[in-house]
Structure 1
Amino acid sequence: MPTSNNGNVDLTISDIGIATISFYHPAQNSLPAALLSNLAQKIEQAGTNSQTKVIILKSEGDRTFCAGASFDELLQIKDKEAGAVFFAGFAKVINACRKSPKIIIARIQGKAVGGGVGLAAAADYCLATEAAAIKLSELAIGIGPFVISPAVTRKIGLPAFSQLTIRAVDFQSAQWAMQKGLYNEVYADIATLDEALDTLAQKLASYHPEALKGLKEILWEGTENWDELLNQRAAISGELVLSAFTQQALNGFLKK
């Protein structure tokens, strides 16, 4: 287990071309700005490496996959410009996944909250455990899942997105997430998840690279405007986070 208090992102590429991007933060794998930037860079780096055949996106630990935005960092935002820059970090990660010419498989070993759901939605295929419940808690802290909403809605549809957003304090089960299309496969535990992940990644690494690239393009048809769209959404979130409601809600969550 990594021990850095600031978190880290690592990239390794196996002999058969499986690129594994792993991120870690001690606060339930939450994502401050520096980690978001590093994650986007590693996704781009893996995608442009000629040795890469397929990408695995995962987090460390055996509990939470990703708790979303760093609340500590959200409380440090003092103007809407800084807020827009922070939330644009999520936009960069989603767009890096979208633009990558390589298929991205997400390994969701535990709960995904807020931006963590966005990461899962930005992948091309998701394997999860039964413990990988999901929640979009943004409304409960006075903001909305605006940056990640195009990616999430693209996967689960508007009715399911509405339920997930409006039920902001309620977790939906991994089975629910699979039924709605966010997860493709759900396993009883991490051991069986990893076995299935290894098998799938090895199969994909053996396929024709140009066929995989063509499939990737098809999977993301109609999203060509996301560079502009997600940055516009980041500006909305960046302004809302400055409200007294949100600042009070964030402080309340951190005191729990």
Structure 2
Amino acid sequence: MTDPYVKLKIINDVGYIEFFHPAHNSLPGDLLAKLAQTISDAGNNPAIKVIVLKSGKDRTFCAGASFKELININDEATGKIFFSGFANVINAMRKCPKFVIGRIQGKTVGGGVGLAASTDYCMATKFAAIKLSELNVGIGPFVVGPAIERKIGLTGMSQIAIDANSFYSAEWAKQKGLFTQVFDTTEALDEAVKEFAENLCSYNTEAMKEMKTIFWKGTEDWDNLLAERAAISGRLVLSEFTKEKLKGFK
């Protein structure tokens, strides 16, 4: 079994940030912290002009939060710290002065949808169905909600948040504005991501930085907002309802 990792590889001025966890690329706290730091470091690295966010293996982009860690949360402070992990990654992408391109090769759930929504330009395969499953376990997509709502609107976000049992197709996500393009194969996706990212590297980096600032205008309060949302999730995860639900995942 491959060990979890976050790694950065620079090819032709493009910084490829890849994360992996053997449990369907779910993200425990330590991996989230490393991912946030890697994104911040890449944003400050003069050798990188554009960033690509991807995950390892072929099937699942990201299964969201680590249920193993969720089950072991026993107080609100710990809960807030755990859910702040996704907040920190979202804020790292928001503050990064470089465009972040999402490469979504497969299904993505919960926090993973938030990561995809926080990229500046997101490309996927037809296998990249999305689901917000948080309500199923008695919490909600509070931390990732602002990022998802920013991309697909309140109507789209509330639809998938309330319908917590259903996967929505990659084509649906494209129609709503989460994905820009959907490809039939991972190979076609990778080729398109490479070509697009390297083409962006030929543009004026200062112009792209200024454009990104404009695109994210109105999110300046997200450090506080997402921390508040993490506290809500940290409280709800302690409820009897959620504790009982999580027992089924042991």
> What band does the TM-score fall into relative to the shorter chain?
over 0.9
Cα deviations across residues 101-142 of structure 1 (Å, max 9, x unaligned)? 000001000001000000000100100000000000000000
Distance in 2 between the 1:243 and 1:228 partners? 24
What does the per-residue CA deviation read over 1:126-176, in whole Å, with 9 as the maximum and x for residues that have no partner? Answer: 000000000000000000000000000000001111110110010000000
Q: Which runs of 5+ in 1 are unaligned?
A: none
Deviations 1:206-255 (A, max 9, x none): 11111111111111011000000000000000010011111111221x25
Identity of aligned residues (%): 59
2:219 is the alignment partner of 1:217: no
Aligned to 1:87: 83
Q: Match for residue 3 of structure 1?
A: 2
Q: Mind listing any 5+ residue stretches in structure 2 that lack a counterpart?
A: none
- C-alpha separation in 2, matches of 1:231 and 1:125: 25
| Aligned match for 2:174, one of 174, 178, 182 | 178
**For each residue in 1:68-114, what CA deviation from the matched residue of structure 2 results, as whole angstroms up to 9, or x when unmatched?**
00000001111000000000011000000000000000100000100
Length-normalised TM-score, structure 2 = 0.99
Please list the CA deviations of residues 45-90 of structure 1 after superposition, one character each: whole Å capped at 9, or x if unmatched: 0000011100000000110000000000001111000000000011
For residues 1-256 of structure 1, what are the structure 2 equivalents within 5 Å?
Answer: 3-4=2-3, 7-14=4-11, 16-252=12-248, 254=249
Letter in 2 for 1:3: T
| Cα distance in 2 for residues equivalent to 1:110 and 1:143 | 24
Aligned mates of 1:211, 1:13 — CA distance in 2: 21
Aligned length: 250
Structure 1 segments of 4 or more deviating over 4 A?
none
190-199 vs 243-252, greater mean Cα deviation: 243-252
The amino acid of 2:72's aligned partner reads Q
